[in-house]
Structure 1
Amino acid sequence: MATLMSVLFDGLLGLGLVWFAWQALSSDNLFRAIVLFVAFGLMLALVWVRLAAPDIALAEAAIGAGVTGALLLAAMARLNVVIHEQATGNNETSSPPRRRPASGLVALLAAGLFIALAYTLYHLPLDTPGLRQAVSEQLANSGVSHPVTAVLLNFRGYDTLLELLVLLLALLGVWSLGQCHSQAEAATGAVLDVLSRLLAPVLVLVASYLLWLGASAPGGAFQAGAVLAAGGILLLLSGWRLPARFTRWPLRLLLAVGPLLFLCLALISLLLEGRLLRYPLAQAGGWILLIEATATLSIGAILVALFMGGNPEPGQPDE
């Protein structure tokens, strides 16, 4: 009976995931599509929990649903401003609207991708040894006691390093598009102001806990950084702004400290051990904790800077 209920629940969860995805993609209303995307992310986090992957579930709930949803809402707000400016401008010089791609072609490509993935999954062997045994044998030499953290920060640390660099490059790409205006303090409602002041310290504590927990349980830099970013975005929404003196080199140092320290330790390990990101056994735990702490700060700052949507204006007066 329990097995039947579990299968039924998983089936309904899968159908709900497909329904939310289809509704988000087919909706003509941008706001409704973003809300459906956030709901899709939350349901996907539940799917990862059912697959016994709490690390990915935490990241999906914090980044995939929370921070990404906020980024999409901020992008929609800026898009509405651009559309309004074009509508109130000279209509004769405005370019004609672009035609949307044929929905049939998009559906055909999606169906082809689905068939390819289904064919690949069907032909995968049922019983594979994987790398669990190898990770378990080397876990004592990794500097941490949680296998996921050992893989992400030690055994395959270059993957995590590249992910940090991709985030930083994404922010540089956004900054290259223009400056962030509207940096003055904004008035807000009393409820949101009190809520942000109460939740911001709590989110900092939760992020610190997730960072410390990552050495022995699900958690780590990306989850902690996403929670920090949520606190920063909440403060921005409540009207708080960073003083101008901190938007210059202090902000840029905070954005780059995680990737730069990761690169420095990679080069030091190459000199000491002869291999990239092969930490000395006695210092492995301390190095990983230092990498995760600085990566948490950089990830949180990058996600908040992405939400701001542009390079902070130089030379603006302090509030």
Structure 2
Amino acid sequence: MKKLIIATRTSDLALWQAYHIKARIEASYPEITVELNKIVSNGDKVLDKPLALIGGKGHFTKELEDEMLSGNADLAVHSLKDVPTYIPEGLELVAVTQRQDQSDVFLSHKYKSLEELPQGAVVGTTSLRRRMQLLKQRPDLRVKDLRGNVNTRLRKLGEGQYDAIILAFIGLHRLDLLKDIPHTQKLSLDMMIPPMGQAALGIEIVCKNEKVREIALSLKDEKTFICTKIERDFISKIGAGCSAPVACNAVMDDNIITFRAMIGFPDGTNIMQEKIVRNLEQSEGLGFEMAELMIGKGALELLKGAEKIAFKDEMPQRL
């Protein structure tokens, strides 16, 4: 194999991730030329409404997968949190890279921390997961939709459209954008449970190419793969899409896995939260087990109720 083509989105963060993987492959396989196939995904085109209102899945992955299935790319680099649990036939999610800092971060030009926000302050996020957890802790806040790429979101914050916004720490860190924000507060995983797959990259390939499989496996971090598989199994079983008010996070410390999950209404009410701690040797199927536990306590009905009130202010009203 002389050339490998990586499919990637065109956002600044996606390109950082793709060039990072490109450099790693070139270092391990200097005989292979690595090129990028830059694609604008549907999720990058629709910036005027929450993705949960558009319907469907894979808003940030489908176009990349189509390119691979058409023979125009060998491998795709995704933010794992954007990858649906269903992978199209002919493709495979082979590897997950080592997970970095999973925290969300509070950003403001006016206030030093989430705790210092005054009553009724406006906080920007489109994530139902963040909205749920914010309003659980601070029901007095006004949560306002926030779309656009990272730079657009930071510009809106700087213009005073929001008192604060919440974003993933790792993207801002990779793009060196935190230095420009007067007040930042990294939120602990106890304060803000992440989504499935946060801060890890998913490497998806065309199934039939064994050399590409070998290259992808060279990028795999086994510990992260185990933890994110638990998260993905949970989301798959419970049937929650990437836009649902669901948080789940598995961490491994000295072969002890702690898996936490939370679902609820996006207004911070009707919260269901569970935690399971297991030895690594006994962790097979842990994600499915957690889903069954929560389903037994009414999780599916809870998610249906959450869907009915999600973004109700943005929903078109019937005449």
Which TM-score bucket, shorter chain as reference?
A: under 0.3
Larger radius of gyration: 1
Higher strand share: 2
- Please give the TM-score of this superposition, normalised by the length of structure 2: 0.27
TM-score with structure 1 setting the length: 0.27
User: More helix per residue: 1 or 2?
Assistant: 1
